[in-house]
Structure 1
Amino acid sequence: MTDTLLARLDQFPAVALLGPRQVGKTTLAEWIADQRESVYLDLESPPDRERLDDPVYYLSGHADKLVILDEVQRMPELFQTLRGLIDRGRRKGQKAGRFLLLGSASIDLLRQSGESLAGRIAYVDLNPLDVLEVGPAERDRLWVRGGFPDSFLADSDAASMVWREAFIRTYLQRDIPQLGPRIPAETLRRFWTMLAHDQGGLLNAAHLGRGLAVDGKSVARYLDLLVDLLLVRRLPPCHANVGKRLVRSPKVYVRDSGIVHRLLGLGDRDAVLGHPVAGGSWEGFVIENLLGAVPEGTEASFYRTAAGAEIDLVLDLPGGKRWAVEIKRGLTPKPERGFHHACEDLKPDRAFIVYSGDDDYRKSGGLTVIGLKGLCERLQG
């Protein structure tokens, strides 16, 4: 990510580095700060916030430095100020590398920066650790513990579970209330846990509402919040014109597999493999890894018809290529009949089965069986 971030800073006046809490944004920003003259402000720190009581005065005094603003969604009113400073700097010939903005809540940051900094800002997503960043022997640990560095690197599975529980409680009891929504922490945790139980299932707002004793609008609000906090993914259905009745509801995934397992109380690999969520958890793990590796501009969806034809992940890549991906846990993957029917409908350029092994081989019908790391490498290459 370092090369990408440096390239964007050399091109744009402002760069937003987005990712959930504890994923490594500040660590990466501090490394960048060591490479060039900079000033770092944590907007959750009262002394740092006080420095920005008069932001134009303070930031103008650091016009020759890279200004790093951490947790910038805490002060959305800053974006209008940044726009004026960027435009003033452009008139003086300073075109790039003014501000690095770190944010752990996407929607407020994107909306504010989209309104105020259009054409002046680039976005870089920092995801948890993925299969390209760990050794082959550590892949199961990555799946079970998730990709947050402190969880993955914990001394034991038990210590990892303690970290993930603290992570969940911090979001529910501190971060979300600070962002404004008045949702009881217990209610939101139950909702989050219900999503984990149905990992990769179609969104059924009525069912979720009955379980929480709330209406459909509340369910939509809760889901929007977790999506905006980069904790849950809403995978849209593919809207292909194939003349068949298509499923219209999105599929919903808790994005980090370790958080799924903590919400369900699954402390180690054996507990995960013995739970009904194992298949959905592996599917979500694969999808997050693949979407972290896709080229910029890729559109992701799933395909399902009322008759049962289904593709777990459809990737529409830049340049017009379409890849179909079936996800199977285990070492002897066999595609479902519905996958073949779906491929006949969509006619993808490539069709893959991602499985738990590492070898790549071809099957009849132009189908490639491939390990997760191998497909991530193909997407990046």
Structure 2
Amino acid sequence: MYNRHVFKAVISALDEQAAVVLLGPRQIGKTTLALDVAGQRRSVYLDLEREADRRILVEPDLYLDELAGNLVILDEVQQMPDLFRNLRGQIDMRRRKGYRTGQFLLLGSASNVLLNQSAESLAGRVRYIEMPPLLLDEVGENRLNDLWLRGGFPDSFQAAHNRASLSWREDFIRTYLERDIPALGPRIPATTLRRFWTMLAHTQGGLLNASALAEGLGISGQTVGRYLDLLVDLMLVRRLTPWHENFGKRLIKSPKVYVRDSGLVHALLGLGSLEALLGHPVVGGSWEGFCIETLIAAAPSGTEAFFYRTSAGAELDLVLRLPDGSTWAIEIKRTTSPKVSRGFHLAIEDIGADRKLLVYAGDREVPGENGLRAMPLGRTLAALREA
């Protein structure tokens, strides 16, 4: 068991809002965290993937009326989309009885499905929190390479050895392709979607080239967009958008695409050991994606994430605009030499960055020119936690 930072965020949200939606892919630890929350207050837990629990809610108001004042935890709530209309009435009824906060904790693994289902029905009554995989400051910096290789899904990370971890991730991918995605409705051949997912892993952190993907799969560009939207909605792929505020520059407009969990990148490519990873061409993109996911997860709630690239060569791997209005420019390199390119300096001038950071593979914090600071990943993560 690890102390998850998101636990405090969920507790705080329940103390301030009537309903909280906790989003994250399957097996990320949502249920474990929800049961930990349940241990701190009067609560009822229902798993809506179980037929018996769904039958309890055939007449939801009859059941939920008796639970006013209790926290009701509904797992995989997207399985019963019509329930959101009842939840709105339940929240309003409970408010009249004096129960204004901490009424419902809703868990789901398909972000857009849940957002669309809940946005209208629960407007002004709900807060959304995304649960990330295990993070470096949760498992300890001495486990950095294990976390990078195996990824942050708890069962994968905690496996007895690398071979068992890889087997778990291969089973996870197969289950998503053969069971979970078809259950959401899309009729996509599992072999085609796996090839698409693997192609994204091969080009980890590259600019989206829909025409090349379409040609490689023998499908249309529109179908590529549909496949990508699906994996983004399932929180398995990140589409990192370009910074778009320098209208006088010729900016790259295509998004960059990352398979979000580094362990899944390595499983899709058959990389089961650190040695195999370090000798593979994807090593740089994998490290970049791993760092980007870690830093976005550690940033304050409400932070916006971008990358920056111009046709003239100015480039930043990650730009974070924090809720306080400050802009952090971050370059990521898997090197022990704390040096950045001329393109980095051009880019920070273009965007007017307030903080300039290089995440590198060294173990010390090193000051550089023009306010640049080179930091190990763990120290950069800590700086974001303090922001």
Q: TM-score, normalised by structure 1?
A: 0.98
Task: Say whether 1:375 aligns with 2:380.
Answer: yes
* 1:297 corresponds to: 302
SS of the residue corresponding to residue 39 of structure 1 reads strand
Identity between Structure 1 and Structure 2 (%): 62
Q: 1:344 & 1:5 partners in 2: Cα distance?
A: 38
Q: 1:28 & 1:225 partners in 2: Cα distance?
A: 25
After superposition, where does 1:353-368 map in structure 2 within 5 Å? 353-368=358-373
After superposition, where does 1:42-61 map in structure 2 within 5 Å? 42-61=47-66
State the shift of 1:280 in Å: 0.2
Task: Say whether 1:188 aligns with 2:193.
Answer: yes
* 1:121 corresponds to: 126
Amino acid at match of 1:319: D
* 1:211 corresponds to: 216
Q: 1:272 & 1:365 partners in 2: Cα distance?
A: 34
Q: 1:53 & 1:232 partners in 2: Cα distance?
A: 35
Q: 1:324 & 1:179 partners in 2: Cα distance?
A: 38
Q: Which moved more, 1:228-237 or 1:9-18?
A: 9-18
Amino acid at match of 2:87: L
Amino acid at match of 1:24: G
Deviation per CA, 1:340-370: give whole Å up to 9, x if none. Answer: 1112222211111101122101012221100
SS of the residue corresponding to residue 249 of structure 1 reads coil
Q: Contact 2:44/2:73 (CA < 8 Å) preserved in 1?
A: yes
Q: 1:374 & 1:100 partners in 2: Cα distance?
A: 33
Task: Say whether 1:143 aligns with 2:148.
Answer: yes
Task: Say whether 1:223 aligns with 2:260.
Answer: no
Structure 2, unaligned runs of 5 or more: 1-5
Q: 1:150 & 1:372 partners in 2: Cα distance?
A: 23
Q: Contact 2:361/2:376 (CA < 8 Å) preserved in 1?
A: yes
Q: Contact 1:68/1:99 (CA < 8 Å) preserved in 2?
A: yes
Q: 2:112 & 2:352 partners in 1: Cα distance?
A: 35
State the shift of 1:81 in Å: 0.6
Q: Which moved more, 1:221-230 or 1:82-91?
A: 82-91
* 1:272 corresponds to: 277
Deviation per CA, 1:13-40: give whole Å up to 9, x if none. Answer: 1111111111111001111111111111
* 2:135 corresponds to: 130
Amino acid at match of 2:288: E
Q: Contact 2:75/2:108 (CA < 8 Å) preserved in 1?
A: yes
Structure 1, unaligned runs of 5 or more: none
* 2:3 corresponds to: none
After superposition, where does 1:287-326 map in structure 2 within 5 Å? 287-326=292-331
State the shift of 1:89 in Å: 1.4
Q: 1:35 & 1:349 partners in 2: Cα distance?
A: 41
Deviation per CA, 1:296-330: give whole Å up to 9, x if none. Answer: 11111010001111011011112221110000002
Q: Contact 1:43/1:69 (CA < 8 Å) preserved in 2?
A: yes
State the shift of 1:175 in Å: 0.5
Q: Contact 1:358/1:374 (CA < 8 Å) preserved in 2?
A: no
State the shift of 1:243 in Å: 1.0
Q: 2:338 & 2:278 partners in 1: Cα distance?
A: 17
Q: Contact 2:69/2:94 (CA < 8 Å) preserved in 1?
A: no
After superposition, where does 1:158-197 map in structure 2 within 5 Å? 158-197=163-202
SS of the residue corresponding to residue 61 of structure 1 reads helix
Q: 1:68 & 1:132 partners in 2: Cα distance?
A: 28
Q: 1:173 & 1:60 partners in 2: Cα distance?
A: 38
State the shift of 1:62 in Å: 1.4
Q: 2:247 & 2:378 partners in 1: Cα distance?
A: 32
State the shift of 1:242 in Å: 4.9
Q: 2:246 & 2:11 partners in 1: Cα distance?
A: 41
SS of the residue corresponding to residue 35 of structure 1 reads coil
The ranges of structure 1 where at least 4 consecutive aligned residues each deviate by more than 2 angstroms after the TM superposition are: none
* 1:349 corresponds to: 354
Q: Contact 1:143/1:257 (CA < 8 Å) preserved in 2?
A: yes
Amino acid at match of 1:276: P
Q: Contact 1:242/1:346 (CA < 8 Å) preserved in 2?
A: no
Q: Contact 1:73/1:105 (CA < 8 Å) preserved in 2?
A: yes
Task: Say whether 1:329 aligns with 2:334.
Answer: yes
Q: Contact 1:242/1:345 (CA < 8 Å) preserved in 2?
A: no
Q: Contact 2:155/2:165 (CA < 8 Å) preserved in 1?
A: yes
Deviation per CA, 1:17-75: give whole Å up to 9, x if none. Answer: 11111111100111111111111110000100111111111111212311110000111
State the shift of 1:246 in Å: 0.3
Amino acid at match of 1:4: A
Deviation per CA, 1:259-296: give whole Å up to 9, x if none. Answer: 00000000110100000000000000000000011011
Task: Say whether 1:19 aligns with 2:28.
Answer: no
Q: Contact 2:68/2:99 (CA < 8 Å) preserved in 1?
A: no
Q: 2:69 & 2:138 partners in 1: Cα distance?
A: 35
Q: Contact 1:208/1:219 (CA < 8 Å) preserved in 2?
A: yes
Q: TM-score, normalised by structure 2?
A: 0.97
